[in-house]
Amino acid sequence: MVHAPARAAAGSPSIRINLYSDTQTRPTTAMKNAMMAAEVGDEQHGDDPTVDRLCDRMAQLLGKEAAIFLPSGTMCNVVALNTHCRAGDEVLAHETAHILTSEGGSHAAIAGVQINALRGPRGLFDADTLRAAIRARTRYAPPQTLLEIEQTANIGGGAIWPLATLGELTAIARSEGWATHMDGARLMNACIASGIKPADMCAGFDSVWLDFTKGLGAPLGAVLAGSHDFIGRAWRWKQRLGGSMRQAGICAAACLYALDHNVERLADDHANARSLAAGLRRLPGVDVEEPDTNLVFFDVVRAGTTAPALQAALRAEGIATSVLGGRMRACTHLDVSAPMIEETIAAIGRIIGR
C-alpha cells in the first residue's frame, strides 16, 4: 500500500517536484478547455453524447463489444468482480495485486469473495504457479471463478506482464471455466513500452479497464469494457455503488482529450524513469530496480538511511515521493520533466551525503 506523503515540517516549501504518483497530474489548460466545450446530457439515462463517444472509442481500442464509464479504477474492479462472481467464490490474483492491498477490503465486504494470493517475482506469477493453485471441485472448496491480473504490476515495480505469459494464464482459466479480468490501471504504459496494441494485450480477458487519472492526466474517470452481456450486468452494480452520473460528458471530454494527446507521450515518462534509475544507481549504497515503465523503486538501507527518513528529507526540499513495502517509489508522469529528474538525483545525493 502506498503510504501518505510525509507531512512537511513547518516552513517547508510547497511541492515543486511531485514524484509521489501519476495520480498527482493536473489537467492542462487545453484539457480543461475541452471539458468546458463538452456536449452533455444525462449519463444515467444514456443521453450524454460525450460519454457515449468515449465508451464506443474505448470498446474499439480494447477489442471489446461495449464499455461503461465509471468515476474511478477501484470502482471498475469492484463492479467487475461483483459482476463476474457470487458470494463465496474465489478469485486468483497476485499477492500484491491492487484488489488485495489497496481497495479497503471492498471485495470481501461487498462481493463476499476471497482472494487466493499467488506468489511470484515483480508482481507476476507464471503458469505453473497458477496450475498449482487449482482446487479440486468439491463441496469443501470455494468455487474458483475468476483470474485477475494487474497490468502493469504496481508493487512489482511497474512490471509488464509478457504477452506470452498472459496467453498461457488465460488458456488455463478457460480450461477451468473461469472468467478473466485485467486491472488495466496503467495498461497504456505497458502498451507503449512493449509496442503491443491494447486490444492484443487484453485479447484473452473477459473484462478490462483503463484509468485516465494516472499517466493520461485526466482529473477523474475510468472505462470498463467487456461483452454486451457483461456490461449490461455491470450497469446494475454501477447503479448500486452510486457510480451512475448525470452530465458526465464534462469528465469524459477530459478522457477523450487524453486519448488524443497523452498516450504516445508516455514514452517520455519511461525515458525519465530510466534516467532516474541510472542516476540513483551512481549514488553510493542505493539499490535500484530497473524500471519497465514509469515506476522507479529503490532501497537506501545500504546508504545508511531509511525510506521514511529520505522521504521526509526530500519533502523538506519540496520533492514528494512515496514509500511502498519499505522501498522508495518515484513515479514519473506528464508533470515531471527531465531537469526535475536531475534535480531529484542531486537532492538524494546531498541527503545521503549528509
- Residues 83-113 have pLDDT tens digits of 999 999 999 999 999 999 999 999 999 999 9
Query: In 99-255, at which residue ranges do the beta strands (DSSP E only) sit?
Result: 114-118, 144-150, 179-184, 207-211, 222-226
Residue entry with cell 446530457: 41
| Structural domains of the chain, count | 2
| DSSP letters spanning 140-173 | TSPPEEEEEEESSBTTTTSBPPPHHHHHHHHHHH
Question: What is the reported pLDDT for 326?
Answer: 86
Decide if 185 is inside a domain.
Answer: yes
Which residue range(s) make up the domain with 154? Answer: 38-261
Percent of the chain whose pLDDT exceeds 90: 95
Q: Which three cell numbers stand for residue 286?
A: 542505493
Question: What is the reported pLDDT for 188?
Answer: 98
pLDDT digits (tens, 9 = 90+) for 289-302: 999 999 999 999 99
Same domain, 337 and 196: no
Question: What is the reported pLDDT for 3?
Answer: 46
Q: Given a cut of 60, is residue 184 above it in pLDDT?
A: yes
Question: What is the reported pLDDT for 325?
Answer: 80
Residue 9: pLDDT band with limits 50, 70, 90: low
Decide if 229 is inside a domain.
Answer: yes
CATH of the domain at 191: 3.40.640.10
Alpha helices in 89-138 (DSSP H): 98-101, 106, 127-132
Region 57-61: what's the mean pLDDT? 98
Same domain, 189 and 273: no
CATH of the domain at 292: 3.90.1150.10
Decide if 95 is inside a domain.
Answer: yes
Region 117-128: what's the mean pLDDT? 98
Question: What is the reported pLDDT for 11?
Answer: 67
Percent of the chain whose pLDDT exceeds 70: 97
Instruction: Please provide residue 118's backbone torsions phi and psi, each rounded to the nearest 5 degrees.
Output: -90, 150
Is 113 in contact with 81 (CB distance < 8 Å)?
yes
Same domain, 250 and 279: no
Same domain, 303 and 244: no
3-state class of 80 per DSSP? helix
Residue entry with cell 461487498: 110
Same domain, 58 and 78: yes
pLDDT digits (tens, 9 = 90+) for 262-271: 999 999 999 9
Decide if 31 is inside a domain.
Answer: no
Question: What is the reported pLDDT for 2?
Answer: 45
Q: Given a cut of 70, is residue 1 above it in pLDDT?
A: no
Q: Given a cut of 60, is residue 151 above it in pLDDT?
A: yes
Question: What is the reported pLDDT for 40?
Answer: 97
